[in-house]
Amino acid sequence: MRSQSQSPTRVLGIDPGLTRMGMGVVEGSIGRPLSLVDVNVIRTTSALPVWERLVTIERGVEAWIDEHRPDAVAIERMFARSDVSTIMGTAQAAGVAMVVAARRGIPVAMHTPSEVKAAVSGNGRADKAQVGLMVTRILRLDAMPKPADAADALALAITHIWRGGAQNRLEAAVAAQALKAGTR
What minimum distance in Å lies between the beta carbon of 89 and a copy of itself? 8
Site for a copy of itself in 7-46 (CB under 8 A): 45
User: What is the DSSP secondary structure assignment for residue 123, as one 8-state letter?
Assistant: -
The pattern of x and - marking residues 125 through 164 that bind a copy of itself according to CB under 8 A reads ----------------------------------------
List of residues 6+ apart from 37 with CB closer than 8 A: 10, 25, 26, 27, 68
Omega before residue 70 within 30° of 0, cis: no
Spatial distance between the Cα atoms of 12 and 126, rounded to a whole number of angstroms: 22
Segment lying near a copy of itself (by CB under 8 A), choices 21-29, 34-42, 77-85, 128-136 = 77-85
Considering beta carbons, is residue 1 or 88 the nearer one to a copy of itself? 88
Considering beta carbons, is residue 98 or 158 the nearer one to a copy of itself? 98
Q: Is 76 annotated as a binding-site member?
A: yes
Which among 4, 1, 11, 5 is positioned nearest to 155, based on CA atoms?
11
CA distances from 53 to 48, 99, 134, 139, 141 (A): 7, 16, 31, 31, 31
Identify the bridge partners of residue 25 per DSSP, sorted by sequence position.
12, 38
Active site residues: 15, 76, 149
The pattern of x and - marking residues 85 through 114 that bind a copy of itself according to CB under 8 A reads --xxx-xxxxxx-xx-xxx----x------
For residues 37 and 68, the answer to whether their CB atoms sit within 8 Å is yes
Q: Is 66 in the site for a copy of itself (CB under 8 A)?
A: no
Which among 75, 143, 61 is positioned nearest to 113, based on CA atoms?
75
User: Of the candidates 7, 33, 47, 82, which one interacts with a copy of itself according to CB under 8 A?
Assistant: 47
Which residue numbers belong to the known binding site for Mg(2+)? 15, 76, 149
Residues that bind a copy of itself (CB under 8 A): 45, 47-52, 54-55, 58, 78-80, 84, 87-89, 91-96, 98-99, 101-103, 108, 171-172, 174-175, 178-179, 183-184
